[in-house]
Amino acid sequence: MTVLYGINLASDTGLQPFMVESDALGVVNLVNAGSPSLADIGIVIGDIFTRLKEVAHGSTAFAPKKANYVVHTLSKLALKSDRDQIWMEDYPPCVERFLLEDYSGLCV
């Protein structure tokens, strides 16, 4: 469901092109296969696939948790919240260290 939410968020806010990364390898593989799935999650996979076809420049990719601590930290923060939170420019302090590490890796 988070992949579908990410696609909808990117589309609704006009962020294109975009890539939704997920640490759920099975979900990413099913979506990228582009064919119907008989798995229990098949309906959601179908919704994701359909939504990706509707947007002009969207894709999904696998990213292990250890490769994206910012998202992992934000996911844990989201579990503690009872409402949606979207940061477009600012970010919560709990991810600052990981953002700086990601940024410093780009500057090498």
Q: What is the pLDDT of residues 59-74, one digit of tens each?
A: 999 988 777 777 778 7
When pLDDT is averaged across residues 8-17 and rounded to a whole number, the result is: 89
d(CA 62, CA 21): 6
When pLDDT is averaged across residues 39-52 and rounded to a whole number, the result is: 86
Q: Is 34 left (phi over 0), alpha (psi -120 to 50) or beta?
A: left
Instruction: Kindly state the tokens that stand for 79.
Output: 């579990």
pLDDT over threshold 80, residue 50: yes
Residue 70: the pLDDT is 79
**Other CB atoms within 10 A of residue 41 CB:** 14
pLDDT over threshold 70, residue 108: no
Question: Is-cis flag, bond preceding 92, omega within 30?
Answer: no
For residue 22, the cross-strand partners are: 62
Scan for tokens 């919560």, then name that residue: 92
For the entire predicted model, the pTM comes to 0.69
